[in-house]
Amino acid sequence: MINSIQPKYHRLIELLEGRLFRIPHYQRSYSWETRQRTDLFEDIKKTFEKDTYHFMATIVSLKRQDEVRKVGSKELFIYDIVDGQQRITTLVALLKSISLELKSGGTDEQEESNEIEKLLVKGENQDLILLQTNHNEAALFRDYLRDAVIPDRNNIKTLAEKNL
């Protein structure tokens, strides 16, 4: 049976909560460079300044009915990212950066940081990350989300790792 496409309009938090995402191996590695990231960040900044919503284009995902992870009493389905993997990877990395910045603030900021961290990394052993990337940069991305490890430039081997 073929699933029908059901487009939904979500705010970013609604898209990310209660799910795990995976970028399949057939998708290209992370390739966004400074120009694409800057364009996205400028769009976010303009949206914030105007206190409005912004349509960031589509993210197409396929819910894997056969793959579910349990975290406490919650079941988290895994969604394969079919389109929008560059954008969602950038947004997830941005959320981690925001969390790190908030962590050094006051009590309210630290609480916000903790909420973002709960979104990005799940499980008793912190073994489930929100977005599993593909190819060589997967470990680099996982280590950044889970432990805030920024690799030494001398250890970066691929263009995808450099861009990430």
Beta strands in the chain (DSSP E): 19-22, 60-71, 74-83, 121-122, 128-129, 131-132
For residue 30, the Cα-to-chain-centroid distance in whole angstroms is 12
Cβ-contact 19, 79 below 8 angstroms = yes
Check if the beta carbon of residue 59 is closer than 8 Å to that of residue 84: yes
What does the DSSP 8-state code read for residue 62? E
- The most confident of the ranges 2-11, 53-62, 103-112 is 103-112
What number is the average pLDDT over the span 99-111? 95
What value does the mean pLDDT take over residues 53-81? Answer: 85
Q: Is the pLDDT of residue 55 over 90?
A: no
Instruction: Give residue 17's identity as a one-letter amino acid code.
Output: E
pTM of the model: 0.89
Give the highest mean pLDDT range of 12-21, 58-67, 91-100, 151-160.
91-100
Contacts of 124 (CB under 8 A, 6+ apart): none
Contact yes or no for 31/160 (Cβ under 8 A): yes
Comparing CA positions, the residue from 155, 151, 32, 156 lying closest to residue 94 is 32
Beta strand 74-83 with 131-132 is unpaired
Query: What pLDDT was estimated at residue 1?
Result: 47
Instruction: Give 126-145 pLDDT, tens digit per residue.
Output: 788 999 988 878 889 999 99
pLDDT, mean of residues 142-163: 89
Looking at the chain, the whole-number percentage of residues with pLDDT higher than 70 is 98
**What is the average pLDDT score of the chain?**
88
Q: Is 109 exposed, middle or buried (0-12, 13-18, 19+ CB in 10 A)?
A: middle
pLDDT at 61 over 60: yes
Model confidence at 2: pLDDT above 60: no
Q: Helix or strand or coil: residue 101?
A: helix
